[in-house]
């Protein structure tokens, strides 16, 4: 059922290997999850996880699970303990190698797999801008940022070109997981090959070049771009990189270590489409990476690490976007939250938050990431960590805050066993009997934060969001 034009091109590319490549479509696809280190230690997770897990070689926190496992239905998923992510798709964020304190952009971010992986590497420090052009996909991205307990992300819904006009020379690292023809997902997603056409491949390649051009404008000297796709098409892979390098001699492909089964990009495939290319560019294309499903335990993927010449400024060096800075409020102007902070919270990262890092939108209060840009003119879905709602004489903490906290960060916790009926009932929104000091409780499942409860009169009122409750 593979498209004839696709088959013809793949035979030309792979030659004798094509039969082995084609046979992989009759095999079971590989499934994986990625543990979220913002939630705790991976060693503890592996001891208590009720799944059969084996490591993904190229992803530190990635693990294959079997077809018998259903991690998407487990309370750990609701708690953001892991993100279900195709194994090959975990490679680009590893190559980006984001560091705590940096300014990082994920330019085509939905649904959030790579963004949440980048956030884990940043350990809650610095600024992570997550952008998605399609509004419906941006909403899903924002929800995943919340579920994974990320506190230093700005989620926006803009075109790459508009962002380039605001964030020129602003970011240390940029992820460009470009929208593509999806050939690498044919085995996983039937819709991908029913919508495939040579014309769509060409359209994707043109769009990818525009996106990569915008990314280049936003990168600091000495910074790094990772360009990735989930397609086999040279027109969207080696050709995009070749054209980019010819236009931008200040960029070089950075070679990275290959894991067994990974292969270098092929300059000959670029020349199939473009004709003869410069010798220096051809040599650099062998530093890009290809993943084929008949050679690794994952789907088809391509990645290239592009480094801009120059000396990278330090992560702590202040640099303004063209939007300037956003007007913040003082903690003293949020008395209701301050009272909640003093009585319910122990976390140092909240207790020591600078007074200039709060943003108030109506009755909603946010903790702003470091070096937050001005928001004027941007379509913003999430301007940092949503702390909660300021009501008359009281503060109601948000679900996002619950998921960003650990058990040791709060004054009161109530732990549920993940296999218990109580955990399932909590996720449905049910109240339950409880004894203890009245006030807000962080409800946990096997020690992982799941949401809020409020104890009064020996009843734990359920504050799990109605929109997330299980039927």
Cα distances from 443 to residues 276, 378, 434, 454, in angstroms, run: 62, 35, 12, 9
CA angle at 303 for the pair 267 and 84, rounded to the nearest 5°: 150
Q: Could you count the other beta carbons within 10 Å of the beta carbon of residue 287?
A: 18
For the chain, counts of helices (H) and of strands (E): 17, 23
User: Is 430 exposed, middle or buried, given 0-12, 13-18 or 19+ CB atoms closer than 10 A?
Assistant: middle
Query: DSSP secondary structure string, 308-345?
Result: ESSPPPPTTS---BTTBB---B-GGG-HHHHHHHHHHB
Which residue bears the tokens 């840009």? 373
Judge whether 389 and 365 are in contact, CB under 8 Å. Answer: yes
Contact (CB, 8 A) for 232 and 201: no
Q: In whole angstroms, what is the distance from residue 251 CA to residue 4 CA?
A: 37
Q: Which residues pair with 444 in a beta bridge?
A: 415, 449
Q: Which of 362, 386, 464, 401 is nearest to 155 (CA)?
A: 386
- Give me the count of residues in the chain: 471
**Residue found by looking up tokens 């359209």 in the block:** 203
- Cis, bond preceding 111 (omega within 30 deg of 0): yes
Can you tell me the distance from the alpha carbon of 393 to that of 403, in angstroms, rounded to the nearest whole number? 24
Contact 233, 178 (CB under 8 A): no
CA 120, CA 126: separation in Å to the nearest integer? Answer: 12
Considering 108, 130, 204, 230, which one is annotated as catalytic? Answer: 230
Is 180 noted as a catalytic residue in this protein? no
Residue 353 contacts by C-beta under 8 Å, 6 or more apart in sequence? Answer: 331, 367
Residues 6+ apart with CB under 8 A from 310: 220, 221, 222, 250
Counting Cα atoms < 13 Å in the Cβ hemisphere of 103 gives 24
Cα(469)–Cα(471) distance, rounded to whole angstroms? Answer: 7
Gap between the Cα atoms of 130 and 112, Å rounded: 8
**Catalytic (active-site) positions:** 230
């Amino acid at each position: 059922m593979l498209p004839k034009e696709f088959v013809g091109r793949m035979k030309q590319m792979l030659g004798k290997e094509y039969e082995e490549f084609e046979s992989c479509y009759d095999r079971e696809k590989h499934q994986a999850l990625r543990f979220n280190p913002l939630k705790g230690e991976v060693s503890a997770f592996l001891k208590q996880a009720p799944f059969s897990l084996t490591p993904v070689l190229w992803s530190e926190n990635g693990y294959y699970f079997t077809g018998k496992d259903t991690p998407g239905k487990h309370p750990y998923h609701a708690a953001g303990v892991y993100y279900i992510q195709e194994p090959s798709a975990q490679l680009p964020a590893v190559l980006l190698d984001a560091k705590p304190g940096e300014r990082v952009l994920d330019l085509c971010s939905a649904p959030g797999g790579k963004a949440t992986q980048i956030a884990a590497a940043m350990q809650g420090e610095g600024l992570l801008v997550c952008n998605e052009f399609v509004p419906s996909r941006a909403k899903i991205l924002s929800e995943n940022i919340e579920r994974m307990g990320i506190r230093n992300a700005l989620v926006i819904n803009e075109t790459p070109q508009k962002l380039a006009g605001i964030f020129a020379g602003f970011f240390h690292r940029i992820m460009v997981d470009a929208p593509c023809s999806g050939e690498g997902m044919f085995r996983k997603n039937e819709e991908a090959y029913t919508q495939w056409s040579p014309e769509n491949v060409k359209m994707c390649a043109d769009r990818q070049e525009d996106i990569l051009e915008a990314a280049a404008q936003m990168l600091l000297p000495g910074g790094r771009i990772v360009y990735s796709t989930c397609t086999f098409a040279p027109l969207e892979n080696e050709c995009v990189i070749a054209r980019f390098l010819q236009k931008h001699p200040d960029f070089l492909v950075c070679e990275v270590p290959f894991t067994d089964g990974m292969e270098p990009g092929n300059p000959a495939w670029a020349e199939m489409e473009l004709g003869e290319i410069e010798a220096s560019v051809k040599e650099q294309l062998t530093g890009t990476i290809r993943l084929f499903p008949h050679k690794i335990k994952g789907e088809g993927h391509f990645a290239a690490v592009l480094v801009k010449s120059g000396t990278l400024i330090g992560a702590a060096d202040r640099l303004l976007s063209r939007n300037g800075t956003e007007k913040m409020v003082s903690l003293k102007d949020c008395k209701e939250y301050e009272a909640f902070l003093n009585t319910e919270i122990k976390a140092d990262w909240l207790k020591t938050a600078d007074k200039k890092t709060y943003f108030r939108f109506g009755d909603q209060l946010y903790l702003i990431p470091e070096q937050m840009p001005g928001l004027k003119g941007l379509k913003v879905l999430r301007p940092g960590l949503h702390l909660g709602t300021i009501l008359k004489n009281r503060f109601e903490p948000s679900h996002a805050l619950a998921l960003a906290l650990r058990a040791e960060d709060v004054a009161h916790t109530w732990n549920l066993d993940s296999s218990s009926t109580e955990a399932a009932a909590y996720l449905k929104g049910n109240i339950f009997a409880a004894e203890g000091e009245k006030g807000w409780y962080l409800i946990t499942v096997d020690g992982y934060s799941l949401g809020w409860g409020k104890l009064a009169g020996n009843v734990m009122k359920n504050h799990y969001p109605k929109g997330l409750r299980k039927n």
